Amino acid sequence: MIIDGSRLVVTDNSGAKEVECIKTRGRYASIGDIITCSVKKAVRGKVTQGQVVKAVIVETKKEVQRKDGSVIKFDRNSAVLVNPKGIPIGTRVLGFVTHELRARQMMKVLSLAARVF
Amino acid sequence: MQLRCAAHAACSQAATGLAGRHRAHVSNVTWGGQQARYCGSHGSRLQQLSGGSQRRQQCAAAAAALDGEVSGVVDEDEDEEQEVINGDLTRRPSNSASSTTEEEEGADESREFVLAMAKVAWETKGEDILVLHVAPVVYWTRYFLIATVFSRPQLNAVLGKMTKEAAEVFDRRLSASPQAGPGGWELLDYGDVVVHVMTADQREYYDLESFYGAAEEVDLPFDTEATVSDVDTWSKTF
């Protein structure tokens, strides 16, 4: 349940470390949603601090339910930076991704991820 | 209680509450009611707090998007649960209930399909066609097909021909047929086969080959060396 103002950890190698959500579609955003963010912390990389970027949420503390009845939740809220077309800006996704992204046509992010749940 | 992360010794310190700076690396993942602690940076499991791997297995088997490879037997999982696992998280312990012959048939069908797609890419003058058998490496698919194209019309052509071939010959349809967008990377997700069609720049940038270096290459039935592209250094107009 990510809202405007939520801070998310960036789990790719784009250079950003932390972003703040500034716009969601609808009230809450969850895994697989693309949100607009402002980069709050960045190291040398493809993005700089203060830049407005889009990101796809990959981990949430709020559990997500699956059709088989299982739920999955993580310890933190994370995102992966993407361009407006949904193509990742970084080249690798560290941390976890779930296969909810597959249903949301985010297979590119999934392909670059080492840990898929 | 021994906690180890193969990749990062600091993570184990964090898990036992010793090192303050690396605490953030530890990630608790709760799934199916079972909680496990993972190194947030590397994904290695540090400790499993609750027992009962069987329910988790059932959730795993049911939740998987497709039937993955049968890897190991049920006994293995019980052992794994006791000890620290530093292995590959994408590999799922499975129920022994799956029949291996069905599995093999499915794998053969996927192989046939991916080789047919590779042929389509080759016929459309795609370069560096690579088929990777990723089933032992990831659970969510079996084969990867990566091909390089040189222009947007060619990208469209490859995608169009592949979707057509898949729909007509193999009766596999996509919910939305992709068109070449401004990024030079398009992806076709057929469940057990994932096709990546990229421009040379994007291929080099994302470097999927090194990421899936553990996967074995599948030999193609046609001779890729025989095709010589006339346009060696055509900069795509993306």
CA distance B230 to chain A (A): 30
Contact A13, A91 (CB under 8 A): yes
Average confidence (pLDDT) over A6-18: 96
| Residue A76 touches partner B, C-beta closer than 8 Å | yes
Residues in CB range of B82: below 8 A, 6 or more apart: none
CA angle A23, A77, A57 (to 5 degrees): 55
| Residue A62 touches partner B, C-beta closer than 8 Å | no
A-contacting residues of B 27-46, CB under 8 Å?
Answer: 27-33, 38, 40-43
Q: pTM for the full model?
A: 0.69
| Residue B62 touches partner A, C-beta closer than 8 Å | yes
Separation CA B90–CA B147 (nearest Å): 25
pLDDT score for B184: 87
Q: What topology does CATH give the domain A7-116?
A: Ribosomal Protein L14 (2.40.150)
Q: How many CA atoms lie within 13 A of B141 on its CB side?
A: 24
Residues in CB range of B47: below 8 A, 6 or more apart: B1, B3, B15, B36, B37, B84
Return the residue matching tokens 């249903």: A103
pLDDT score for B105: 78
Average confidence (pLDDT) over B63-68: 52
Dihedral-angle region of residue B12 (phi above 0 means left; psi in -120 to 50 means alpha; beta otherwise): alpha
Contact B220, B118 (CB under 8 A): yes
In this prediction the ipTM stands at 0.89
Interface test with B, best of A13, A87, A94, A99 (most B CBs within 10 A): A87
The residue ranking higher by pLDDT, B231 or B172, is: B172
Residue B11 has pLDDT above 70, yes or no: no
Residues in CB range of B96: below 8 A, 6 or more apart: B70, B73, B74
The first and second tokens of residue B132, run together, are: 């990777």
Question: B42-51, B117-126, B221-230: which range is least confident on average?
Answer: B42-51
Residues in CB range of B3: below 8 A, 6 or more apart: B11, B12, B15, B16, B37, B46, B47, B84
**pLDDT tens digit sequence for A37-49:** 999 999 999 999 9
| Residue A108 touches partner B, C-beta closer than 8 Å | yes
pLDDT score for B58: 52
**pLDDT tens digit sequence for B178-219:** 787 888 899 999 989 999 999 999 999 999 999 999 888 888
- Determine, for residues A68 and B63 on separate chains, whether the beta-carbon distance falls below 8 Å: yes
SS3 category, B24:
helix
Cα torsion B81, B43, B70, B94 to 10°: value is: 40
SS3 category, B5:
coil
| Residue A40 touches partner B, C-beta closer than 8 Å | no
Q: What is the DSSP string of B58-117?
A: HHHHHHSSS-----S-HHHHHHHHHS---S-TTSPP--TTS-HHHHHHHHHHHHHHHHHH
* Mean pLDDT score across all residues of chain B: 70
| Residue B208 touches partner A, C-beta closer than 8 Å | yes
Out of B140, B181, B205, the one facing A116 most closely (by C-beta) is B140
Q: Which residues are bridge partners to A65 per DSSP? A: A71
Contacts 24+ apart (CB under 8 A), A34-43: A34/A82, A34/A86, A35/A2, A35/A79, A37/A8, A37/A79, A37/A81, A40/A7, A41/A16, A41/A17, A42/A15, A42/A16, A42/A17, A43/A15, A43/A17
**pLDDT tens digit sequence for B81-90:** 443 344 444 4
Confidence of residue A36 (pLDDT cuts 50, 70, 90): very high
**pLDDT tens digit sequence for B131-188:** 999 998 889 999 999 999 999 999 999 999 999 999 999 988 888 777 878 888 999 9
pLDDT score for B17: 41
Residue B103 has pLDDT above 60, yes or no: yes
Q: Which residues of B touch A18 (CB under 8 A)?
A: none
Residue B91 has pLDDT above 80, yes or no: no
Q: Which residues are bridge partners to B47 per DSSP? A: B37
Classify burial at A11, counting beta carbons within 10 Å of its beta carbon; exposed 0-12, middle 13-18, buried 19 or more.
buried
Residues in chain B: 238
**pLDDT tens digit sequence for A70-110:** 999 999 999 999 998 889 999 999 989 998 999 998 999 99
